[in-house]
A and B are shown apart, each in its own frame.
Chain A
Amino acid sequence: MATATITAEREHYLNTDYGIRSWLLTTDHKRIALLYLALITLYFFVGGFFALLIRLELLTPAGDLVQADTYNKLFSMHGQVMIFFFLIPSIPAVLGNFLVPMMVGAKDLAFPRINLLSWYLLVIAAVIMSYCIITGGVDTGWTFYTPFSTAFSNTHVIEAGLAIFIAGFSSILTGLNFVVTIHRMRAPGLTWSRLPLFIWSMYATSIIQLLGTPVLAITLLLVVFERAFGLGIFDPNRGGDPLLFQHLFWFYSHPAVYIMILPSMGVVSEIIPCFSRKRVFGYGAVALSSIAIAVFGFLVWAHHMFVAGISLYSAMIFSMLSYSVAVPSAIKVFNWTATMYKGSIRFHTPMLYAMGFIGLFTIGGLTGLFLAALGIDVHVTDTYFVVAHFHYIMVGGAVMGYLGGLHFWWPKISGRLYPEWLGKFAALTVFLGFNLTFFPQFVLGYLGMPRRYWQYPPEFQVLNVLSTAGSTILAVGYVLPMIYFLWSMRYGKVAEANPWGAAGLEWKTASPPPTTNFDEVPEVTWEAYNYDEIAEPEEVPVG
């Protein structure tokens, strides 16, 4: 690898100012993106550590590694940390923050100081959550079901609730910033139908963040009040309805999964045309499908409550609505496939992640349809089938999209190329490790192994061992990029402005970009994904 010591260089956002104050008090959206990257990577490993302990315990049928109560805390904290401190912020706060202003041709987001406040809110939330973890965590499941969480659990529910409340505020402010930026700060000539699909999906994601998160906020606040003051709103012994909590909780938490997947879909929509050298098939359909997912995603929440005690009539309504939400997702998969058809395919690392996404998301999504069918759901709900389903979407889908995006835009963010062969190796490791971890769980669930159980009948051991083996391989696949990305910042090959020959305004400026993003205000006169006009780079970039 050629070492590049950068000499006498051009000023850009990374070298424009040094020192901790210039980072902690920055309002530059690109620096804030990196601040988020550091924070969520840390919590990814915290959540991953809990997962490793879970998988270790499940190597044997007996509960022999940890006590039952501890196991409850492990899966609860794994869920809460991964969802609120990794997945929800991940693409929006890292890639979104970095790219949204650049993709619309603006100097920064609409409200840069609120952007920094968003980060600090997540930091404060993370500190409170860390305190909660250190003092024993919660054992309620990430779902906080009442009345256990409000009346019976002996753990730090209030702290966890407050931490997530504050994290939610961070999420709302990010969404607000994006919507205003996309509406009001597009460059001249950049009409809605010329926007990159990543922007469409960030816009849809932001709508969900804005309209859904406040309901989670009030729900957690009510739980905190109930626990602190002994209210009884959710306690059946005192006339309360536990299902009211679940309705309010899932009203946010179902759309939340679309917060986690839509940005990944946006990333895939950027990667596929670039590495197929073709326009996106059916741009309009893909763009509108993001909006459709955001809207329909709000209509299906009680499919998490089919066996909780809702009425049969409402269960049927929610089941039917849940089928409808699959349609826009399917449209995307069809259109990505059609984009690749007769394209000039290049198998660089981002493309490997994107293709992995399409396959794994399809499996995860289809299994969601199984769960939407009432009869099947009665059999597999609260089993490992559900666990496998959502990990296929959130890990096979969202995390692969996130990694693919990190690789795709890494040259832009850092000005360096990552080592391509290592990137490919890590991508394949992740793909193999992931499938080995989670495919056995579909079988386990169908055979009847319940989730959140710390011990299980011996006949399930073989599949559990396979799953744990897969998780260790997956862990290797995750650690590798961390190492080589860091390595590349010092020793990686210097990247030019557009190493992939990709379309989009962000590629028209230097790598790394100057603090104000563009030297001149761009004026857009071309359609999106004009790959027929962009020359493919002769030299394949290898770091």
Chain B
Amino acid sequence: MASEHIVSSKIYFAIWATLMCLTVITASVAFIDLGPFNTVVCLVIATVKALLVVLFFMHVKYTSEKLTKTVIIAAVFWLGILLVLSLADYSTRPLGHV
């Protein structure tokens, strides 16, 4: 990470505009009946937004530091462990009730 890469303000504004559009889209699509895909769509859009913030605003796209990317992937992976292995239990026993 010797010299700093300075991102052009045009790119920042383009990302901002994209994020705003995606926000409007995700809120609007919620009113349309897509069955179970409503959840899928809004989570996919959320992930795209998060990726844009990470890659551009947090500079991960422009860094040569592999360790940064490793830390991010590891954290997401670990969260995955928590969710997936817990759901392995929840998905194989009956739903709860009051």
Contacts and interface: CB of A to CB of B under 8 A. Distances in A.
A/B: CB atoms within 8 Å of each other: yes
Interface of A: 183, 211, 215, 236-241, 243, 247, 251, 298-299, 301-302, 309-314, 317-318
Given A237-B98, A247-B86, 5 more contacts: A211-B78, A239-B97, A243-B89, A299-B81, A301-B85
B46 to A, nearest CB: 20
Given A183-B67, A239-B96, A302 B78 contact: no
B93 interface: yes
Interface of B: 67, 74-75, 78, 81-82, 85-86, 88-89, 92-93, 96-98
A211 B71 CA distance: 11
Contacts, number: 41
B89 A247 contact: yes
Contacts of A243: 89
A230 to B, nearest CB: 15
Contacts of B74: 211
A251 B82 contact: yes
Q: State the 6 A-B residue pairs at the shortest beta-carbon distance, nearest first.
A: A311-B92, A314-B89, A311-B93, A239-B98, A313-B92, A310-B89
A215 B85 CA distance: 15
A458 B57 CA distance: 69
Contacts of B93: 309-311
Nearest to A240: B96
Contacts of B92: 311-314
A314 B88 contact: yes
22 contacts: A183-B67, A211-B74, A211-B75, A215-B82, A239-B96, A243-B89, A247-B86, A251-B86, A299-B85, A301-B85, A302-B89, A309-B93, A310-B93, A311-B89, A311-B92, A311-B93, A312-B92, A313-B88, A313-B92, A314-B85, A317-B85, A318-B85
Contacts of A298: 78, 81
B94 to A, nearest CB: 9
Nearest to A314: B89
B65 to A, nearest CB: 10
Contacts of B81: 298-299
Contacts of A311: 89, 92-93
A312 B93 CA distance: 9
Contacts of A240: 96
A402 B44 CA distance: 48
Nearest to B86: A247
A239 B97 CA distance: 5
A244 to B, nearest CB: 8
Contacts of B85: 299, 301-302, 314, 317-318
B98 to A, nearest CB: 4
A406 B5 CA distance: 48
B3 to A, nearest CB: 19
Contacts of A312: 92
Contacts of A239: 96-98
A241 B88 contact: no
Nearest to A232: B98
B12 to A, nearest CB: 29
A238 B98 contact: yes
A247 B85 CA distance: 9
A325 B60 CA distance: 34
Q: Please indicate which of the listed interface residues B75, B78, B85, B89 has the most CB atoms of chain A within 10 Å of its own CB.
A: B89
